[in-house]
Amino acid sequence: MIDEQTKSSKGSFWRELPILLGVAIIVAFLVRQFVVQTFFIPSGSMEQTLLVDDRVLVNKLVYDFRDPERGEIIVFVSPDSWRSTPEHEDYIKRVIGTPGDRVVCCDPQGRIQVNGHPLDEPYVYPGNKMAPQKFDIVVPEGRLWVMGDHREASGDSLANYSNSNQDIMQATIPMDSVIGRAFVLFWPFDRGTWLTVPDTYKDVPAPTSGG
């Protein structure tokens, strides 16, 4: 019985290195394109949860299997009317209302209500009101109502609702514009944390048929 063994000739590693590098580049491209991508935070609209120049990882695959949920932080391609300049394309905000939800500001304690449930939002920027102005809307089918955690410095659904003469379609974003969910703050390392959904959203009831 002959014991056969594989042998590698001298220099084979260097011949194979370009192939290995090519495969690594392709895999990295596919991961970035379809699975996970890094994004940096360009403004203070999500303070104090996310600060300027923070880096987050965004899961680009999750919403292929389900819709965005209340309380999640998402990255999306902004409507043209939201942009201060054409290149400001990708926005990051928190989902407050999903299709059919009635979102109202505010209850006697100044809290936003979703389907009658008041939200306790400790992540809102210190000193900010939960919303800079009163509103009462129902989120249209296939769209999302999103807000920044720095409520008084965010070009979000409420800001665009006001700027568009209360046009709910201008104020909300289509779900198919969502790139993915920001799930971890990874830079700077000393502030690294999972971006989880706050407990207050667990008790939000489903919307009624009439909004």
CATH number of the domain at 71, please.
2.10.109.10
Percent above pLDDT 90 for the chain: 79
Q: Is residue 118 part of a domain?
A: yes
Mean pLDDT of the chain: 89
Q: Is residue 105 part of a domain?
A: yes
- Which of residues 23 and 180 earns the better pLDDT score? 180
pLDDT higher than 70, residue 168: yes
Average pLDDT for 112-135 = 96
Q: Which domain holds residue 174?
A: 38-202
pLDDT at 22: 61
Q: Is residue 31 part of a domain?
A: no
pLDDT higher than 70, residue 193: yes
pLDDT at 86: 78
pLDDT at 1: 47
pLDDT higher than 60, residue 29: no
Q: Is residue 24 part of a domain?
A: no
What is the distance between the alpha carbons of residues 155 and 163, in angstroms, rounded to a whole number? 10
Examine the residue annotation and report whether 209 is marked as an active-site residue of this protein: no
Q: Is residue 140 part of a domain?
A: yes
Examine the residue annotation and report whether 81 is marked as an active-site residue of this protein: no
- Which of residues 27 and 96 earns the better pLDDT score? 96
Name the catalytic one among 43, 60, 78, 93: 93
Name the catalytic one among 45, 78, 154, 157: 45
pLDDT at 2: 42
pLDDT at 117: 97
Lowest mean pLDDT among 11-15, 74-78, 152-156: 11-15
pTM: 0.84
Percent above pLDDT 70 for the chain: 82
Q: Is residue 180 part of a domain?
A: yes
Question: How would residue 85 be classed by pLDDT, with cut points 50, 70 and 90?
Answer: confident
Count of structural domains within the chain: 1
How far, in Å, are 124, 141, 209 from residue 151 at the CA level?
7, 24, 29
Question: How would residue 84 be classed by pLDDT, with cut points 50, 70 and 90?
Answer: confident
Q: pLDDT per residue over 34-78, tens digit each?
A: 568 999 999 999 999 999 999 999 999 999 999 999 999 999 999
Q: Is residue 175 part of a domain?
A: yes
Q: Is residue 158 part of a domain?
A: yes
